[in-house]
Amino acid sequence: MLQAPREAKPGGKNRPTPRRSQQEALNKRPLVPADRKGAGRASREAVRAERMKVRQAMMSGDERYLPTRDKGPVRRFVRDVVDARRNAGEYFLLVAMVVVFLTFLRDPLVQLVGTALLWLTVLLCVVDGFLLARQLRKRLVARFGPAGLEPGIVRYGVLRAFQMRRTRLPKPMVKRGQYPA
């Protein structure tokens, strides 16, 4: 005796349960792909493409792709304040390289001037870092209240100030003199 086809139940599976052997056969695949070199190459290419996508997003300042260290409105504000001003720390590496070249010269006066220039730059960087820290604290409290002074936030800004502007990541989003409101 033939049964009439049942009508579909709303919310039901509406198909027979597959046999266990059928399900196990669907899940079987080799542990190692047939073309290992090709699979490795494809995997490396996929990882590289993902890394490039994340890097491009980070360069553009997309908040979703920033590392945890750089996320949040407070960190963004600190980056903008630091990037809007000229910092003595940006030029320290350039001055240090000039002093290294001056030390190769055999003239003791040139070496003395180079060493004095280096120490003067170090002193200038320390004073500038101190002034930046005070400015950051004042602006953070004015903008975010006492909660804006989270641990390490001022150090984050001062360390960013010691990087050359072109090498900063995330890239500066403001021009010099364009302080955040």
The helix-helix angle for 108-144 and 73-84 (nearest 10°) equals 140
**Cβ pair 140, 148 in contact under 8 A:** yes
- Could you tell me what percent of the chain has a pLDDT over 90? 64
pTM to 2 decimal places: 0.73
CA distance 11 to 22: 24
Band (pLDDT 50/70/90 cuts) for residue 76 is very high
**10: left (phi > 0), else alpha (psi -120 to 50), else beta?**
beta
Asked if residues 159 and 85 have their Cβ atoms less than 8 Å apart, the reply is: no
The string of pLDDT tens digits covering residues 48-68 is 999 999 888 888 878 888 888
- Give 152's DSSP letter: T
Do the beta carbons of residue 128 and residue 89 sit within 8 Å? yes
pLDDT for the residue numbered 1: 59
Contact in structure between 72 and 66 (CB atoms under 8 Å): no
**CA neighbours closer than 13 Å in the CB half-sphere of residue 5:** 5
Per-residue pLDDT reduced to its tens digit, 122-132: 999 999 999 99
Position 2 scores a pLDDT of: 66
What's the token pair of residue 70?
């750089």
